Structure 1
Amino acid sequence: MNVLYPSFPVRRLPTMALIAFLGAVVAGVYGAVHDQISFAISPEYFTRMKFRQFAWADVGLPPRAFASEVGFLGTWWVGLVAGWFAARAGLAELPRSDRWRCTPRCFGIVLAAAAVVGSAGALVGLVEARSGDLSSWDDVRTLLEVEDVPGFVVVAYLHGGGYLGAALGLILAIVYVRRCVTRAAL
């Protein structure tokens, strides 16, 4: 099996593209919901940083709706990559019935890992925020003019943990997909 560079029958390409597309949609929706939670914890994470990063996509939505848009735009590509690698790991070669049973579970593994590790990141951020010493965040406070540094710290760790969790989830999902392929071959 070759996961990193293309070497597959061309007839599998539409299925692989569909799985990658579904991954992008699932991840984008997850990001939109995730950023609603993040916005509730630290609006400044968005108003002082994320909205500036995604200014090109600002079509005049209210801040909470724009946060969801930012969440979608910030995560769809993670799902695209995860879907592509899961398809390459064997989802695309499974018989149709097995494929559509394994695909939601595969995405569920990635989502669950992102949520669990993201939550763990938020807890780490909460511990740091409550430590009383946020001097390591002075540059951020000054550069972005952040007033609620503790909330900003929690959300920064939440987001970092979520991306780390998605990477870990992809590894676990690939292991799961390989097991599906092995079972289907029996």
Structure 2
Amino acid sequence: MTLNEIILLGCVIGGLYGIVHDQLTYTISPEYYTKFKFYQFGLAESGNEALFPTPRLQVSLVGFMATWWMGLFIGIILGIIGLIHTENRQMLFVTLKAMLVTMAVALATGFIGLAYGKWVLAKTGVNWRFPQNLVDKESFIAVGSMHNFSYLGGAAGLIAAVIYSIRQRKKTAPARTRNKKKARSK
């Protein structure tokens, strides 16, 4: 697999992560989308509330648009780091696992953000600009916090993924050296 293919894969995986993430957060706070995100991403004109016949389709679009670029960034970094692996198969396998590490850390951090938003920020208040006619402010804050923490988690996950990839290279280095010595002695 080439570096370009890894980068493209990063964009696709990042976008798919965003779709799943936003489907979850839409379930928690539909207003976060109907009164904020749909306008932010240009899917609706300013107004009271954007209502669509199939809102989950628009939520998926928002999720993809919000995260594909993070996948691009992660794909570039992990793809370049993946070049330390000498075998193509190992590069692909380790880099895909590293992307999963990134997503797992981002998701876990996002859930921490959700809890923090619900149990701390919603209780103490935030200095955010809220949409008019907001019915469930607590859920809106919790979901906003989850989104913010998820980006932080993506960055932390990328660091963990780079460390993982480097450690995998170090694990396989002694085995390759032994195999080369065996091949020379024959």
**TM-score band (shorter)?**
0.7 to 0.9
* Cα separation, partners in 2 of 1:30 and 1:97, compared to 1, 3 Å: same
**Separation of aligned partners in 2, 1:144 and 1:103:** 45
- Structure 1 ranges of 4+ moved more than 4 A: none
Task: Give 1:83's aligned amino acid.
Answer: G
- Check if 1:165 corresponds to 2:153: yes
Residue in 2 aligned with 1:29? 16
Alignment RMSD:
2.2
SS at match of 2:120: helix
For 1:55, give the aligned amino acid: G
Contact 2:10 2:72 in 1 (8 A): yes
The corresponding residue for 2:184 is none
The aligned length equals 167
Aligned to 2:142: 154
1:40 maps to which of 13, 22, 27: 27
Shift of 1:113: 0.3
Return closer, same or farther for 1:50/1:22 CA change in 2, 3 Å cut-off: same
Mapping for residues 172-183 of structure 1, pairs under 5 Å = 172-183=160-171
1:9 is aligned to none
Matches within 5 A, 1:39-58: 39-55=26-42
In 1, are the aligned partners of 2:8 and 2:72 still within 8 Å (CA)? yes
The secondary structure found in structure 2 opposite 1:70 is helix
Residue 128 in structure 1 maps to residue 120 in structure 2? yes
Instruction: Give unmatched runs, 5+ long, in structure 2.
Output: 46-51, 175-186
State the TM-score, normalized to the length of structure 1.
0.81
Question: Could you tell me whether the CA contact under 8 Å between 1:49 and 1:144 is conserved in 2?
Answer: no
Contact 1:98 1:184 in 2 (8 A): no
Unaligned ranges ≥5, structure 1:
1-13
Equivalent pairs: percent with the same residue?
A: 34
Deviations 1:139-186 (A, max 9, x none): 523x55422110100100110111111100000101111122333443
Is the 1:140–1:146 contact (alpha carbons within 8 Å) kept by the matching residues of 2?
Answer: no
User: Aligned residue for 2:106?
Assistant: 114
The alpha carbon displacement at 1:112 in A equals 0.3
Name the residue aligned to 1:15.
Answer: 2
Select the residue among 65, 79, 90 that pairs with 1:87. Answer: 79
In structure 2, what residue type is equivalent to 1:50?
A: K
Per the TM alignment, residue 117 of structure 1 is displaced from its structure 2 partner at its CA by: 0.3
CA deviation digits over 1:20-40, x for unaligned, max 9? Answer: 111111111111011111101
Q: Work out the CA distance in 1 between the residues paired with 2:93 and 2:61.
A: 30
CA deviations 1:90-134 (Å, max 9, x no partner) are x13421121122122101100100110000000001102662x43
1:99-110 aligned within 5 A: 99-110=91-102
1:73, 1:61 → 2: CA distance?
20
CA positional deviation for 1:78? 0.6
